[in-house]
Amino acid sequence: MAEKHIELPLTEEIIKELHSGDRVLLSGTVYTARDEAHLYLCRMMDAKEPLPFDLNGAVIYYSGPCPAPPGAVIGPAGPTTSGRMDAYAPRLLDAGLKGMIGKGKRNKAVKESIVKNRAVYFGAVGGAGALLSSCIKEAEVIAFPELGAEAVYRLRVEDFPCAVVNDSYGGDLYEEGVRNNCVNTD
C-alpha cells in the first residue's frame, strides 16, 4: 500500500484523510512520554501549571529510549504498550493532543475520545527500536530528566513509519485485521 507523507503538527485537514490501515511516514516534532511522565503531566494540569510543551496539535510517542551511544542522536527507541496510558489519554486529548504513537490496544474510553476530539492513534512496529531510531534526527530532554528513560524528549523525526490504528471515524486496524484473518475453528 502507498505510504502517505505527513508533516506534523497534525491539523483537522490531515486527520480527516487518515483511515485505519493507512501506512504513513511522519515528519516533524513528536514528544515522548510514558507512564510516569503522564502522571506528572496530569499533576501539572491539576495544579494549573504550564506544561513543558504545547499540547495543541501535538503528537505524543509512547517510548522510553535506550541511552545514546557515542556519536548517535539517541539509542533504540521503539514504542511501548499504549494501554498503560489509557487512564490519562482522554484528558490530554480533551486538552488539544491530536496524535499518539504506540503499540497495542486502547480501551473504549480512549477510542471514544479519539472520535470525539477528531484525533488519531498510530501504531509503530514494536520491537523495531533500532530501525525506528534511524528516523530520529534530533533529540532533547525537555522535562523530568530525573525519570531517566521515562523523561520527556522532544524529537525531530523524518519519515517515521507508522500505521493508522484508530482513526477519527471509529476505525480500528487491530479489530479489522483479526476479522479479516481469523480462521473459524468450529
Partner 1 sequence: MPWREIHVDTIINAVKDLIIDACCILPEDSKCALEKAFQTETSPAARDALQDILTNAGIAASKRIPICQDTGLAVFFLEIGQDVHIVGGALQDAMDKAVALGYTEGYLRKSTQDHALGERVNRGDNTPAICHCRIVPGDALKITFCPKGGGSENMSAVGMLKPAAGRDGIIEFVVNTVREAGPNPCPPVIVGVGVGGTMEKAALMAKEALIRTTGEKSPDPEAAALEEELLEKINRLGIGAAGYGGKVTALAVHVQTHPVHLASLPVAVNIQCHAARHKSVVL
CB of 107 to partner 1, least distance (A): 12
CA angle at 157 for the pair 156 and 160, rounded to the nearest 5°: 165
Measured between alpha carbons, how far is 93 from 166 in angstroms, rounded to an integer? Answer: 14
Secondary structure E strands in the chain: 3-7, 23-32, 59-61, 99-102, 120-123, 136-143, 152-166
By beta-carbon proximity to partner 1, the closer residue of 1 and 47 is 1
Identity of the residue, 19 or 118, whose beta carbon is nearer to partner 1 in the bound complex:
19
Task: Pick the closer one to partner 1 by CB: 132 or 143.
Answer: 132
Are 96 and 56 within 8 A, CB to CB? yes
CB of 153 to partner 1, least distance (A): 12
**Nearest distance from residue 140's CB to partner 1, in Å?**
17
Min CB(56)–partner 1 separation in Å:
28
Report the C-alpha gap between 122 and 52 in whole angstroms: 23
Chain-centre distance for alpha carbon 110: 13
Please, what is the minimum distance in Å from the beta carbon of residue 145 to partner 1? 12
Of residues 38 and 103, the one with the C-beta less far from partner 1: 103
The residue ranges that bind partner 1 (CB under 8 A) are 1, 21, 23, 36, 63-69, 72, 75-78, 80-81, 83, 103-105, 123, 125-134, 147-150, 161, 163, 173-174, 176-183, 185
The residues with which 99 forms a beta bridge, in sequence order, are: 59, 120
For partner 1, give the closer residue by CB, 57 or 64: 64
For residue 75 the three cell numbers come to: 539509542
